[in-house]
């Protein structure tokens, strides 16, 4: 019956991982709890399943966590959607200030505003995309 305790622990840890995105700590431990449940179900006993849990926890944290952490910090080339636009250059097509304007980004026209109040960009000027808010690019020099 101890296998059931390990299953409950694995589920609780998996739920905790989902509720705390970005850390990727509880997920590997949940996998270790699932391995301990399997070991217990196969007759490893309490001490044996606990040893499986400890070994699998250390192994999964040592190998899986670094892989997951690398994938969280995707390089610019791997980004998609509006995230892929941040950091790119744009050309001002209609004067841009704090209240609005237009820029040309990668073949598309976008509404734009200056990222900092008081900045004004003239038509033809090249600017950097700092952030995307909805359908508006926030730009700076």
Are 128 and 67 in a shared domain?
A: no
| Confidence (pLDDT) at 55 | 94
Are 6 and 65 in a shared domain?
A: yes
Are 107 and 124 in a shared domain?
A: yes
Are 17 and 37 in a shared domain?
A: yes
CA distances from 91 to 13, 78, 129 (A): 48, 23, 10
Q: Which residues pair with 97 in a beta bridge?
A: 100
pLDDT digits (tens, 9 = 90+) for 14-45: 898 888 766 678 888 999 999 999 999 998 88
Are 34 and 63 in a shared domain?
A: yes
The total domain count for the chain is 2
| Confidence (pLDDT) at 71 | 63
Q: What is the pTM of this model?
A: 0.51
DSSP track, 14-38: HHHHHHSTTT--HHHHHHHHHHHHH
Q: CA 98 to CA 85: how far, in whole Å?
A: 20
| Confidence (pLDDT) at 134 | 84
Burial class (CB in 10 A: 0-12, 13-18, 19+), 28: buried
Are 12 and 68 in a shared domain?
A: yes
- Note whether 138 and 114 are within 8 A (CB): yes
| 118 phi-psi bin (left φ>0, alpha ψ -120 to 50, beta other) | left
| Confidence (pLDDT) at 80 | 55
Phi, psi of 123 (to 5 degrees): -55, 135
* CATH number, residue 90: 2.40.50.140
Are 6 and 67 in a shared domain?
A: yes
Q: End of a domain among 15, 41, 72?
A: 72
Are 57 and 116 in a shared domain?
A: no
Which residues of the chain fall short of a pLDDT of 50? none
Are 66 and 88 in a shared domain?
A: no
**Residue 36: which domain range?**
2-72
């Amino acid at each position: 019956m101890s296998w059931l305790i390990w299953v409950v622990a694995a589920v609780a840890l998996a739920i905790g991982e989902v509720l705390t995105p970005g850390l990727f700590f509880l997920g590997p431990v949940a996998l270790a709890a699932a391995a301990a449940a399997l070991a217990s179900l196969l007759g490893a006993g309490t001490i044996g399943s606990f040893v499986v849990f400890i070994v699998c926890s250390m192994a999964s944290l040592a190998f899986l966590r670094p892989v997951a952490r690398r994938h969280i910090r995707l390089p610019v080339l791997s980004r998609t959607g509006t995230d892929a636009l941040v950091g790119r250059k744009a050309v001002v097509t209609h004067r841009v200030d704090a209240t609005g304007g237009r820029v040309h980004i990668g073949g598309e026209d976008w509404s734009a505003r200056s990222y900092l109040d008081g900045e004004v960009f003239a038509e033809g000027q090249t600017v950097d995309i700092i952030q995307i808010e909805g359908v508006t690019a926030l730009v700076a020099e």
